[in-house]
C-alpha cells in the first residue's frame, strides 16, 4: 500500500515538473532588450527595451502576425503560423536578402508604421515614432 502510494506520488511530481518546465521553455519573455550587437556590431544608439506584454495587449485584435510572420510559399504573402513565432533576427539579416528587408529596416518599418497608425486612429498610447522614443539613454 505504501509502495503504491509512493510510486503514484513520485509519478505525479514528475508529470507536474515536466509540464511546468515545458510551459516555461516555450513561453515568451515579458520584457527584453533589443540590441543585436551580433548583427549590428557596436551600437550607435542605446538598445531598445521591449515589452512583449504591452504589445500583445495593444495588438490583440490584429493578432500575432503583425510581428511574427513567414512568407507563404504559394501566395508569397506574409502569414502567421502558430508555433513558429521566431524573433525578427531569425529571418532578417544585417542586409536585405531577396524580398526580406534588413533587420534594422524590418524593426523600424514595422514599429514606427504601427505606432503612427495607432496615433492616427486616435489611440492615446500609440507608441514612440522618433529614434529617441525607443532608443532611450540610461541615466
Band (pLDDT 50/70/90 cuts) for residue 46 is very high
pLDDT digits (tens, 9 = 90+) for 106-115: 999 889 998 9
Q: Model pTM? A: 0.68
Q: What residue numbers bound the domain in which 62 lies?
A: 30-134
Is 53 part of a structural domain of the chain?
A: yes
Give the CATH number for residue 119.
3.90.10.10
**Helix ranges (DSSP H) in the chain:** 2-26, 37-40, 52-58, 103-120, 131-134
| Cβ neighbours, 10 Å, residue 25 | 7
Q: Are 67 and 78 in contact (CB under 8 A)?
A: no
What confidence score (pLDDT) does residue 5 get? 58
Written as nine digits, the cell of 43 is 551600437
Is 139 part of a structural domain of the chain?
A: no
What confidence score (pLDDT) does residue 136 get? 93
If one counts the domains in the chain, the total is 1
Band (pLDDT 50/70/90 cuts) for residue 43 is very high
Band (pLDDT 50/70/90 cuts) for residue 23 is very low
Is 23 part of a structural domain of the chain?
A: no
Is 1 part of a structural domain of the chain?
A: no
Amino acid at each position: 500500500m505504501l509502495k503504491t502510494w509512493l510510486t503514484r506520488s513520485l509519478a505525479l511530481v514528475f508529470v507536474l515538473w515536466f509540464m511546468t518546465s515545458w510551459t516555461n521553455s516555450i513561453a515568451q519573455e515579458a520584457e527584453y532588450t533589443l540590441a543585436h550587437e551580433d548583427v549590428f556590431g557596436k551600437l550607435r544608439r542605446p538598445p531598445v527595451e521591449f515589452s512583449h506584454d504591452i504589445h500583445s495587449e495593444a495588438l490583440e485584435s490584429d493578432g500575432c502576425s503583425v510581428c511574427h510572420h513567414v512568407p507563404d510559399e504559394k501566395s508569397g504573402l506574409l502569414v502567421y503560423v502558430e508555433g513558429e513565432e521566431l524573433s525578427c533576427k531569425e529571418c532578417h539579416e544585417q542586409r536585405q536578402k531577396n524580398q526580406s528587408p534588413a533587420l534594422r529596416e524590418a524593426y523600424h518599418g514595422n514599429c514606427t508604421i504601427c505606432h503612427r497608425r495607432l496615433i492616427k486612429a486616435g489611440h492615446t498610447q500609440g507608441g514612440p515614432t522618433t529614434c529617441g522614443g525607443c532608443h532611450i539613454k540610461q541615466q
